[in-house]
Amino acid sequence: MNRVYFVGAGPGDPDLITLRGAALLGGCQAVFTFAPLGETFAGLIGDRPVYDPYDFDFDDLLTRLNALLEAGDVVFLQPGDMTFFSPFQALIEALGDKVEVVPGIGSANAASALLKKTLNLSGVCTRTILVSSRVLEAVPGAPALKDLAKPGTTLLIYMNHYPLTELVSRLRSGYGRNEPIALAHRIGLPGQRMFLGTLDDIVNQTSDCALFDKKGRADLTLIIVGETLTAKPDRSWWDQRRLNVRRHRS
Ligand SMILES: C[S@@+](CC[C@H](N)C(=O)[O-])C[C@H]1O[C@@H](n2cnc3c(N)ncnc32)[C@H](O)[C@@H]1O
């Protein structure tokens, strides 16, 4: 049976797609994706027809996909992968067993690699919370950002919609202190920038570049906040862990 493959593209660099994702892209007869992935994956997409899913309403999209499936496999190339904040869940349900999902490298994984930092350093961070400021605000009764921003928490903020000064002030009122913050912008894409600073200096650090539009939106920026970004790991932790591992093995 021909299938619609929802392939995690990774952050944007075609070197960061999985081998399986690349093979499916090479074997399909049509691709659905949107900027900037259409451009960065042009080499792997070749001369296959490329459709922007946002050109179709839901029913038209289903009709088009079912028609294309008559002729062969279809790949939906999606940013990161579908684990967090994927817009395609309803489509996946509607297509049922005609769908297969292929994992990829999320922007959180790619940002962690660029920073060379685990995002929940033991002894420093007791929890990591993934949020979208936009979604939080839209859901009545959801906790506010300042209620989640507490010492010991690493926050990953997707789809920020606050101007940076306002975001910083909300985070400061939650953490109750200065806190390390990283802005990972266009990871794996032309124009990649990584800013690592603190709530005190991040606004100045970014004043020379247009990370955020006038409404504060920064669609291709992942924001990471928390002590784990700069804390010095305790070297003795390794020896304790090693002893535990050896004890379990014997
Ligand atoms: C709709 S969500 C999709 C997230 C995706 N499923 C993932 O795990 O990377 C879009 C948000 O992911 C983050 N994002 C996606 N791709 C990115 C990239 N290349 N660089 C930085 N942030 C990215 C941004 O916060 C953006 O607003």
- The CA 198 to ligand 1 mean position distance, Å, reads 22
Residue 193 is predicted with a pLDDT of 95
Parent domain of 67: 4-105
Decide which of 49, 71, 105 is a domain's last residue.
105
Question: Quick one: 86 and 141 in the same domain?
Answer: no
Question: Quick one: 63 and 146 in the same domain?
Answer: no
Mean pLDDT computed over 69-95: 96
* Cβ of residue 222 lying under 6 Å from some atom of ligand 1: yes
Q: Is the pLDDT of residue 237 over 90?
A: no
Say if CB 130 and CB 148 are below 8 A apart.
Answer: no
* Cβ of residue 224 lying under 6 Å from some atom of ligand 1: no
Q: Domain containing 152 — which CATH number?
A: 3.30.950.10
- The CA 128 to ligand 1 mean position distance, Å, reads 17
The closest residue, in CA terms, to atom 12 on ligand 1 is 158
107-139 tens-digit pLDDT: 999 999 999 999 999 888 999 999 999 889 888
CA dihedral 116, 117, 119, 121 (to 10 degrees): 150
- Report residue 213 as tokens: 């539009």
Query: Which residues partner with 223 through β-bridges?
Result: 157, 183
Q: Domain containing 66 — which CATH number?
A: 3.40.1010.10
161-205 tens-digit pLDDT: 999 999 999 999 999 999 999 999 999 999 999 999 999 999 999
Question: Quick one: 92 and 114 in the same domain?
Answer: no
Total domain count for the chain? 2
21-53 tens-digit pLDDT: 999 999 999 999 999 999 999 999 999 999 999
Question: Quick one: 67 and 180 in the same domain?
Answer: no
User: N- to C-terminal Cα distance for the chain?
Assistant: 49
